[in-house]
Chain A
């Protein structure tokens, strides 16, 4: 197992388009997290799953954002009608039953 992977690594899109990101966690990890990170800031929590259940969502997660983890394995984060303010690094992390999180390399989104 090589760790958490994210795809794509970079995405450039035009304002108003929809984008979808994928995260593949470490296989035995039951928790999966999405964060957003902007320049000069730490990661901000967006949402997290335990197995396939989405247990918590941040107020940052507007109605244009949706996340799924259909079989408790990989997860997708979709942003509809992208805005320039959505430009950021989107990080995925996974964890087992401990509090230690393992991060993927992130997807950098640029909205033009």
Chain B
């Protein structure tokens, strides 16, 4: 069965600082990987996805993520955080033969001015 671990429940950064949110997955084959963002009281918005090919993927709002097969990781990064990035971030994994993703428990990003 596939699973996702987001080891950090909360991350606090200063505005303008760089950000890395961790995601580790468990799945036998090459998974499909996603990062979503959720603002308070809202649904989830897709930031980026990885299916195959280049292991460094670019997303919206200046985010990127790198797939590392050897570490079973798909960490999300942003070089300079803005106050509007404060939100909940979810990593999700999906097997190639399934249309149902498994989500991590999320990481809450707090941005200090």
Residues of B within 8 A of A (CB): 4, 9, 32, 34, 36, 41-46, 49, 51, 90, 92, 94, 99-106
Contacts and interface: CB of A to CB of B under 8 A. Distances in A.
A31 B101 CA distance: 13
A42 B105 CA distance: 4
B41 A48 contact: no
18 contacts: A40-B9, A40-B106, A42-B90, A42-B105, A43-B44, A43-B90, A44-B103, A45-B101, A48-B100, A91-B43, A95-B99, A99-B49, A101-B101, A102-B46, A104-B43, A105-B43, A106-B41, A106-B42
Interface residues of A, number: 23
A91 B99 contact: no
A56 interface: yes
A2 to B, nearest CB: 13
A105 B90 contact: no
Nearest to A3: B43
Interface string A1-23: 00010000000000000000000
Contacts of A104: 43
Contacts of A74: none
Contact of A99 (B4, B32, B44, B45): B32
A84 B74 CA distance: 36
A103 B90 CA distance: 13
Interface of A: 4, 31, 33, 40-45, 48, 56, 91, 93, 95, 99-106, 108
Mostly, the B contact residues are strand
B111 to A, nearest CB: 19
A103 B94 contact: no
Most buried by B among A43, A91, A103, A106: A43
A33 B98 CA distance: 13
Given A42-B106, A100-B46, A105 B101 contact: no
A99 B105 contact: no
